[in-house]
Structures are given as structure tokens and as C-alpha cells.
């Protein structure tokens, strides 16, 4: 016995829906990847700002002890227990304390930074030459690929 007015979806309609959902998923994944990459850049700049705060304290302490400091290295800040070793957000590894990353100071105020990560750095100008980044212009646009 045949039943009239049976309703359902055809195979073509189901395939069209699956294709549309696939396209939406690809667009969403690309948007999420962009957001994740931007947040990694922001975390790297936040690490630089943490170095700035630690270096300000270090410079003020040096002024109290009547020492003149122009360059405060990442290694000095870690050894003085003023900052924890920095986790590079791009490579997910801890940056070894070294003298390549540093903050330049003038008296008790800090002026600029050079922070080198595994994949990115805050030490290179637009022409590719090594140059410290002033804190007044520090942003994710200052971040350069190694």
C-alpha cells in the first residue's frame, strides 16, 4: 500500500547542506587561527612590559646604591628574582636567561627594550637592522620575525 504525501530530504539536498556547513567550518577555523596568532603577539608584548616593570625596579634599586646602570639584561633580572623566566608564546618554550635580551635605562627610567624570542623579536626595525624598541612605540606592530 502506497502512502501519499511522504516528505523527506533528497540526497542532493543533504549534500548541499553538508557542503555549506563545510564552508562555514573552514571560515571559522581561519578566523580562530588569526585570533590565536594575534593573542600570541600580544602575549609577547606583555612579556616585554613585564621586563620593563622589573627593570624599573632594578634601576631604582641601583640608583639607591649609587650605581649607574645603562643596560639591564634579562639574565640580570632573572638572577635578581625580579622576573620569572619568560615563556615564549609562539614556541611554547622558556627563554633561557641571556644577555641578548635587555632593557636600556637612563637613570631610574627605562627607555627601550630588545627582547629576542625563538621565532619573533622586539629588536629589529623595519629595515631589518638591530635596534631597541622604545617603550613609547611598543606594540604588536613592533614584533618582527627572526
pLDDT band at 28 (very low <50, low <70, confident <90, very high): very high
pLDDT of residue 2: 58
Q: How far is CA 7 from CA 3, 4, 10, in A?
A: 10, 9, 10
The residue ranges of DSSP E strands in 1-146, in sequence order, are 71-73, 102-106, 109-114, 120-121, 133-134, 144-145
Q: What is the pLDDT of residues 102-144, one digit of tens each?
A: 999 988 889 999 999 999 999 887 777 888 999 999 999 989 9
Q: 102 pairs with which residues across the strands?
A: 73, 114
Parse the chain into domains and list their residue ranges. 15-145
Residue range 52-90, pLDDT digits in tens: 999 999 998 888 888 888 899 999 999 999 999 999 999
Overall pTM > 0.85: no
Question: Would the pLDDT of 12 be above 60?
Answer: yes
Distance separating the N- and C-terminal Cα atoms of the chain: 74
**What whole-number distance in Å separates Cα of residue 71 and Cα of residue 51?**
12
Amino acid at each position: 500500500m502506497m502512502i501519499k504525501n511522504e516528505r523527506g530530504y533528497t540526497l542532493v539536498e543533504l549534500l548541499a547542506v553538508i557542503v555549506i556547513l563545510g564552508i562555514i567550518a573552514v571560515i571559522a577555523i581561519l578566523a580562530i587561527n588569526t585570533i590565536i596568532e594575534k593573542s600570541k603577539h600580544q602575549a609577547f608584548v606583555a612579556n616585554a612590559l613585564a621586563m620593563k616593570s622589573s627593570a624599573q625596579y632594578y634601576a631604582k634599586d641601583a640608583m639607591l646604591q649609587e650605581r649607574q646602570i645603562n643596560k639591564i639584561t634579562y639574565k640580570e633580572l632573572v638572577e635578581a628574582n625580579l622576573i620569572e623566566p619568560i615563556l615564549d608564546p609562539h614556541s611554547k618554550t622558556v627563554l633561557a636567561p641571556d644577555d641578548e635580551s635587555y632593557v636600556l635605562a637612563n637613570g631610574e627610567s627605562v627607555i627601550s627594550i630588545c627582547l629576542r624570542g625563538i621565532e619573533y623579536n622586539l629588536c629589529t626595525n623595519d629595515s631589518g637592522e638591530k635596534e631597541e624598541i622604545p617603550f613609547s612605540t611598543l606594540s604588536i606592530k613592533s614584533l618582527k620575525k627572526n
